[in-house]
Structures are given as C-alpha cells and as structure tokens.
C-alpha cells in the first residue's frame, strides 16, 4: 500500500478509533494507547499504569507497525488488495482494523461484490450488518467512499 494511502488511512482511523497520547482502558478493559493500539507483552509499555503519557513519536511508530499488520490481515480476505482502487484499499484496511480478518471474512456477499467491482452491491452489503449499526458514522462514511466508485 502506497504511503499516501497509509496517510489517508491514518487520518480516517484518528477519527474512527480516536488517538490518545496516554494509556487508557478500551471498552473491554484492555490497556491501549495511540490509534487503538492494544498493548501486548512485547510492548515496553506493558504493565504501565493507565494515564501514563505516551509520546507522539511512539504513537506514530506503533501505528506504522500496526498498519502493516492490518494490511497483511486484509490480504488474507482480499489477496489482490493491492490491485483494488486506492480508496477501496483504504476502506478495506479500515474495516479490517476494526473487525479483524476473521470477522471481515464473514462478510461473504460484501467480499464477492468487492471482488466483482460491484460497488453499489458492496455498499448495500456492508450496511446490512450488525457492524454498520454498531459503528454508525464510520460505516456511513466508508459506504460513501465505496459508492463513489460506482459508474
């Protein structure tokens, strides 16, 4: 994925996931910081208390690592991701960032529509989900990006 697309994705995810320069507990109670980065035992921040500040440089470093991971995860669902239109790539990685590849992989009709470049059908299928109801404005914005590719 081109750097310009990663920058677009980062800006979207700042809106969708938020960005925090301190450790906080996510909605499931897991220690997190930055743009939805779940702290693992591999992170130097592991075990640090909630409220500990994290530098913008560290937040960006972790995002760069996370985004590469989610591009690879998205490619498990869309092996030819790199051949999709640029903004469709951004939409798909954004969805995978939120859902993970296993859950995104269950959107079978959506996946089929994307692979067939049936953008209207893809938009309908992405909105016909519990996910769309849960994330509201995020799904609506991503749907509009998909629809912008329709003839």
pLDDT of residue 27: 82
Is residue 60 within 8 A of residue 41, CB to CB? The reply is no
pLDDT of residue 89: 97
Q: Mind listing the pLDDT tens digit for each residue in 64-76?
A: 999 999 999 999 9
Count Cβ atoms within 10 A of the Cβ of residue 104 and give its class: 0-12 exposed, 13-18 middle, 19 or more buried. Answer: buried
Q: Is the pTM of this model over 0.75?
A: yes
CATH number for the domain running over 3-147? 1.10.530.40
Distance CA 15, CA 71 (A): 19
The answer, yes or no, to whether residue 151 has pLDDT greater than 90, is: no
pLDDT of residue 41: 97
pLDDT of residue 110: 98
């Amino acid at each position: 994925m081109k750097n310009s697309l990663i920058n677009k994705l980062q800006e979207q995810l700042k809106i969708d996931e938020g960005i925090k320069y301190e450790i906080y507990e996510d909605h499931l109670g897991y220690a997190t910081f930055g743009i939805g980065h779940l702290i693992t035992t591999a992170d130097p921040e592991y075990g640090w208390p909630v409220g500990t500040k994290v530098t913008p440089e560290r937040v960006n470093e972790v995002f760069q690592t996370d985004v590469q991971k989610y591009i690879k995860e998205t490619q498990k669902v869309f092996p030819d991701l790199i051949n999709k239109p640029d903004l469709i790539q951004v939409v798909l990685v954004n969805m995978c960032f939120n859902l993970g590849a296993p859950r995104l992989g269950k959107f079978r009709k959506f996946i089929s529509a994307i692979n067939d470049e049936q953008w209207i059908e893809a938009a309908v299928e992405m909105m016909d989900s519990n996910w769309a109801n849960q994330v509201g404005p995020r799904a609506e914005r991503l749907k509009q990006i998909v629809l912008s590719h329709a003839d």
